[in-house]
Amino acid sequence: MTKLPLYLISAALLAGTVGLAFSASQNDVLPASASNPRDFNTFYAPAYRLPDPATMSSSAASGKELIHSTYKYLGVESGIRAANGRPFVGNKLACTNCHMADGTQPNASPFVVVAQKYAPPGIFNARSNILLDVPNRVNTCMERSLAGEALPRDSQPMKDIVAYFDFLATGLQPGFTFKQVKGQEFPAVALLTRAANPERGKDIYRERCAICHQNSGQGIWLDDQKRYLTPAVWGNDSFGLMSGMGRLATAATMVWGTMPRDKVNILDPSTRMPQQDAWDVAAYLLSNNHPFGERYIQDWTGVGPDGMPNWLRKPASASYDFTMPRSNNGAATDDPSKPPMFTREQHTFGPFQPIEAALKSARNARGFP
């Protein structure tokens, strides 16, 4: 039997439930192509293979449990708080609601080589104007996707999550680099030449998605486990607007690559819905309300290591500060005295090509690619 550290046991007791590191995932009912490690290994081969769970340390097992039931252990019902008194998880999501199969499913932003990808000193992130190493990468999700607070780098939960990522990283096969591992992101979709249509997306959602996520968008909550079987996709307990999923271009890739889960076979791309349907469904999700923190209006400020102002790297579908770029007689600028170049609606639903073209022109005018 896997032993849980005291902080996990205490949080579970406060939430009214105690679970072992693998119990909840074993009870979930998923299609074979979305839960069978043999399929995952077939996809990842030859560069990567999921490591043997028997070799997982107790710390890594605790990290896996945290990934699986993040709200249970770090949400408001856990009794655990950040220094500012807020829970570390502000909604009711768990990491695995997006990073599926506890971060092992390909084409679902898996954690399999996160340890190598974000090895010190980390990767520069223009949105936050920091270098993302593994703890910083974890905290971008804690604060944004989970609408909560950053875990202290030296806290036991952070150490356990990092240990789980380190365990997964041992699956990288000899002779390969992490860059050769397939399926590290959600699969790319082509930009629409029109604006995404949330009304059309609503019809598709009710036909294909509501059976799991409900017409209300509030998903299926397992109160005895304090986690979602299928997550809320809008409302206070859904993902934050300031997260990657809060951008249509990201949400569409997630929907196209993984949904509906009982239809998509990771080994057969023909089982995915049409890309335009994914765009419109994602647009419908984002037409509803999501958590947001005003502090994130400061995203993409500052200057990157190469001297490029970060606003020039801002994704076209980041809608919560639609005022950037601003227009100086038709040229993109960050001058706050100038009017926004594009509307919030276009930053939310597209088409995105004009925004991308304006930003590229502004970069080129300043000597950047």
Taking alpha carbons only, the member of 95, 125, 347 closest to residue 241 is: 347
Helix (H, G, I), strand (E, B) or coil at 22: coil
Last residue of a domain, one of 146, 180, 214: 180
- Helix axis angle for 275-286 and 248-258, nearest 10°, is 130
Q: Is residue 207 part of a domain?
A: yes
Last residue of a domain, one of 113, 146, 180: 180
Any idea which residue has 């170049």 for tokens? 341
Any idea which residue has 């980390």 for tokens? 122
**How high is the pLDDT of residue 4?**
59
**How high is the pLDDT of residue 13?**
45
**Are 165 and 227 found together in one domain?**
no
Instruction: Give the CATH number for residue 77.
Output: 1.10.760.10
Last residue of a domain, one of 235, 257, 286: 286
Residue 333, beta-bridge partner list: 326
Taking alpha carbons only, the member of 20, 145, 136 closest to residue 72 is: 20
| Cα angle for residues 4, 8, 9 (degrees, 5° grid) | 75
Q: Is residue 76 part of a domain?
A: yes
Give the distance, in angstroms, between the CA of residue 215 and the centroid of all CA atoms in the same chain: 23
Taking alpha carbons only, the member of 183, 179, 171, 190 closest to residue 266 is: 183
**Are 337 and 222 found together in one domain?**
no
Name the pairing type of β-strands 130-132 and 331-333.
unpaired
Domains contained in the chain, number: 3
Q: Is residue 295 part of a domain?
A: no
**Are 265 and 308 found together in one domain?**
no
**Are 224 and 308 found together in one domain?**
no
Q: Is residue 187 part of a domain?
A: no
pTM of full prediction above 0.85:
yes
Q: Is residue 191 part of a domain?
A: no
How is residue 312 written in tokens? 């020039």
**Are 19 and 121 found together in one domain?**
yes
**Are 14 and 100 found together in one domain?**
yes
Any idea which residue has 């929907």 for tokens? 255
**How high is the pLDDT of residue 30?**
41
**Are 229 and 343 found together in one domain?**
no
**Are 127 and 215 found together in one domain?**
no
Domain that holds residue 161: 6-180
Q: H helices within the chain, ranges in order?
A: 6-15, 23-27, 37-44, 58-68, 70-74, 100-103, 114-117, 134-140, 156-169, 198-208, 210-213, 248-258, 275-286, 344-349, 353-365
**Are 137 and 216 found together in one domain?**
no
**Are 305 and 277 found together in one domain?**
no
Contact assessment for residue 253 and residue 187, using Cβ atoms and an 8 Å cutoff? yes
Q: Is residue 73 part of a domain?
A: yes
CB atoms < 10 A from the CB of 154, how many?
8
Taking alpha carbons only, the member of 290, 289, 264 closest to residue 277 is: 264
**Are 106 and 204 found together in one domain?**
no
**Are 266 and 168 found together in one domain?**
no
Q: Is residue 129 part of a domain?
A: yes
Q: Is residue 237 part of a domain?
A: yes
Name the pairing type of β-strands 220-222 and 130-132.
unpaired
Q: Tens-digit pLDDT profile for the chain (369 aa)? A: 455 566 675 555 444 443 333 333 433 434 445 557 789 999 999 999 999 999 999 999 999 999 999 999 999 999 999 999 999 999 999 999 999 999 999 999 999 999 999 999 999 999 999 999 999 999 999 999 999 999 999 999 999 999 999 999 999 999 999 999 999 999 999 999 999 999 999 999 999 999 999 999 999 999 999 999 999 999 999 999 999 999 999 999 999 999 999 899 988 999 999 999 999 999 999 999 999 999 999 999 999 999 999 999 999 999 988 888 999 999 999 999 999 999 999 999 999 999 999 999 999 999 999
Give the distance, in angstroms, between the CA of residue 198 and the centroid of all CA atoms in the same chain: 21
Q: Report the distance separating Cα 156 and Cα 177, nearest Å.
A: 29
